[in-house]
Structure formats: C-alpha cells, structure tokens
Amino acid sequence: MNLLRNTFSLCGFVLLAACAEEPLPISTAEFMEQPRLLEATMVRCAQNRSESRYLAECINARDAVNRLEAAEERARRDGLEEQSERKRQALRRTQEAAAEARRRALDNQRRHEEEEYHGIFGQVPDPADEAVTIDQPSPASNNAPTIIVPPAAEPTNVPEELIEAPKTDLGAIREELKRRQEAPE
C-alpha cells in the first residue's frame, strides 16, 4: 500500500510537471544587462547551430549582440564626430589668428610707410586719430578720385646759364659729361 501511494504520488508530480508552463526564454533586454549570460548563451548556440538556429533564446541573444554592436558603433561615431569638431574649431582658431596677424602686419606696414612719408615733412600723424573701424569705409574704398595738389612753387631767379636746352645728340651728351668731370669741385 505504501508502495502504491508513492507510485501514485510520483505519477501525480510528473503529470503536474508536464502540465506546467515552460519557462520563458531570456529576453533581449536581460541579455543586454547581463553580458556573461549573453556570452554563455552565444557559446551554447554556436556549438550546435543547426538545432539552435530557431530557438527563442538564441534569436534573442543574436539580437542583443546586434544591438550592443550598434550602440558601440554609435558611441564610436559620436566620439569621432566630437574629435572632428574639436579639430575644426582648432583649425578655425588658427586661421583666425593667422588672418589677424596678417591684418596687423599690413596695418603696421601701412602705418610705418605713412610715418616715413609724413616724417619727411616733419609731421607724424597720431595713430589714435587714424583708427579705422570696420563699420566706416576707408576713403580709398569709394570710387571718387582723390588728388592732393601741392601749392604752386614761387618762381625763383635762376641764372639762364644753368637752364640749358636739352641736348639730344650723342656728341653733345659726351661733351657735357667731359665738362662735368673736368669741372673743379
């Protein structure tokens, strides 16, 4: 009787176990959260590809691997894009600095030439007065011609022997050169 009761109990447990639901396959999200579980499942699925090809766990594991690779690719691309943007900004700053240096060099050269020009006449312009802003067009930028006419020189009394008619023949030029060389200094 005891044996019969144990046999029926065993059959009942087997029947209950057979009727119980199968455990759900591990989802893709769970695989993405647990990399070791993903790796173990991928190894198991790779050992017997033909049988495990359509198993839900193997499909979910492959999907998780694809999603992880896509996320890594996005992160790599974002990193490269940030690096590229930093390089572009550095290049832009370098070009702006070079343009500013060229502009300053041209400005200094122009100021130096003006100082030399005005230095001949004894008047040096004040650099603060000549500050040109970007909003104001420079006088040279408009199309109107600007001509500065020097004041007329007073006629001087020059002896007529110093004023000679221009000599055009070669012999006259030679005579003039000889006369200048022989002239006492």
- 21-62: per-residue pLDDT in tens? 777 888 889 988 999 999 999 999 989 888 888 888 999 999
Report the pLDDT value the prediction gives residue 64, as an integer from 0 to 100: 94
Of all residues in the chain, what percent are helix, strand and coil, respectively (each to 5)?
65, 0, 35
Q: Count Cβ atoms below 10 Å from residue 28 Cβ, excluding itself.
A: 19
Q: Which two tokens stand for residue 89?
A: 């900004």
Report the pLDDT value the prediction gives residue 26, as an integer from 0 to 100: 85
The model's pTM is 0.45
Output the CA–CA distances (angstroms, integers) from residue 160 to 102, 156, 166, in the order listed.
Answer: 54, 12, 13
CB-based contact 60:26 (threshold 8 Å): yes
Residue with the larger pLDDT of the pair 155 and 28: 28
Residue with the larger pLDDT of the pair 181 and 137: 181
- Amino acid of residue 59: I
Report the pLDDT value the prediction gives residue 177, as an integer from 0 to 100: 84
Report the pLDDT value the prediction gives residue 175, as an integer from 0 to 100: 85
